[in-house]
Chain A
């Protein structure tokens, strides 16, 4: 990266461009100032022959404009002892006269004309300028892609992708991504498993670019990473297990709507950039920075398609229940991510239940099958209640706690049904539990989220993984800008 010094010197400076009508209007003023202010230097951003009749300095590389923090042209600056002491932008006759001490300056011009946008703040170039002049902001190793090499194929051949094409993380794109957070690029967010690498904001931003994120998604990616890289969530184990699980990211709070997340129709499916790219960025970070790749530390026997990305928002606006985040101790006004170790979702169909007890019975019967109908207590589950199912409970005035209680009450499994060999199935609990009654889920092991399209008497179940301190606990983190 090129780091240049501010080229502006003591004395007077004017920065203009021909494309600006106000700059063109003040050409006679500039011509007079050149005569009366010997120190004056005129920088021109676009046409080096502008202003006509004045010797100007080309600022085609916008270095003077960038270093002087010019956002409007024309700008008149005075510097003394290396420090800027006066500045006016656009054309305000009284200010130009006061600054220059020339009482009749611009008498022939109108009193006021607004200036034009500086080329150095053009959204298409500002990130290039930051890379060029911003100093050592980016520390990641730079990789040259040869001119004859296809940049998308280059990402595949270097092993950087999840099997789908990624956006090449150019310095300009990464700089733009970093605008999404106030955190310093070199701040260490987490220690990323499995290689236990210090994970910086910059490396997260690089992978977020590749995933297709917009900068406003970055704080959500960071929060999700903070959540999965905890001892409680145990991302190392989630990765290394032979079971088909990965991080399921549930987003809560008003920010989910601000960044355009989907919580409704096809909530767990394709089509929404925000949902998909946040989840994908998290997985790419674990792959690329953490070093967790399928067939290496990732030993999943089957995996599931959601290991590309599994991220969605809870439908809070239409929910009859308190949200998952509120149930986990956060305020509804806060933006949060909750991570849960989950397999792929499965559908629960019950189009006939109109009484809450009937629906609770159906949900319990389906939840019992998580991983195996004879295995209690070891696995959590997430129940994603569709709006039409939620309505059945809401009409009976069942709240979140009641719904969960009623389902759990129907999931006390008699030992005689679940011991090894019962029902002709070898799988099950040890014979010692034959006379016991065991709950399918540990306390708090069933998570409830409200999401999905408005039509369809369906819900979804996401089975979990080994729970608690020997496996993984759900973790919720605040999203910080």
Chain B
């Protein structure tokens, strides 16, 4: 009996998995990016975080997506990756 054949309806891509980086031992001395995705009230959450992180000795840089409905532009992602050692994203309101 012959097998039946169908065509793969997917992209045929396979996700690659990457290991997480080791957790930093201390906040102090880190450059931490705070990404505001432009959702309402995300700034309130990030302001609180900035205050706490700065007190803990971190340097904080603020970033903002043009809109929460679209992925972060590649230039923005590159800027965060090159300037920061850590990043925190405020996901939703």
Contact = CB atoms under 8 A, between A and B. Distances in A.
Contacts of A262: none
Contact of B11 (A151, A155, A236, A289): A289
Contacts of B1: 147
Interface in B1-56: 1-13, 38
Contacts of B3: 144-147
B11 A140 contact: no
Contact of A197 (B13, B66, B68, B71): B13
B66 to A, nearest CB: 7
Contacts of B67: 237, 469-471
Interface string A143-178: 111110001001100001000000011110010000
A143 B6 contact: yes
B69 A234 contact: yes
Interface of A is mostly: mixed
Contacts of B8: 140-143, 206
B11 A206 contact: no
A145 B7 contact: no
A198 to B, nearest CB: 8
Given A197-B13, A469-B67, A472-B69, A144 B4 contact: yes
Interface residues of A, number: 43
A240 B69 contact: yes
A169 B12 CA distance: 15
Given A144-B5, A146-B3, A171-B5, A288 B10 contact: yes
B71 A236 contact: yes
A384 B65 CA distance: 35
25 contacts: A140-B9, A142-B5, A144-B3, A144-B5, A145-B5, A147-B1, A147-B2, A147-B4, A160-B10, A169-B7, A169-B9, A170-B5, A170-B6, A170-B7, A174-B7, A202-B7, A203-B9, A206-B8, A207-B9, A234-B69, A236-B70, A289-B11, A290-B11, A470-B69, A471-B67
Which 10 A-B pairs rank lowest in CB-CB distance, beginning with the nearest?
Answer: A237-B69, A470-B67, A140-B7, A141-B8, A197-B11, A288-B9, A147-B1, A144-B3, A145-B4, A206-B9
Interface of A: 138, 140-147, 151, 154-155, 160, 168-171, 174, 192, 195, 197, 202-203, 206-207, 210, 231, 234, 236-237, 240-242, 284, 288-291, 466, 469-472
Given A160-B9, A170-B4, A472-B69, 6 more contacts: A143-B5, A143-B6, A168-B6, A170-B5, A242-B92, A291-B13
Interface of B: 1-13, 38, 66-71, 92
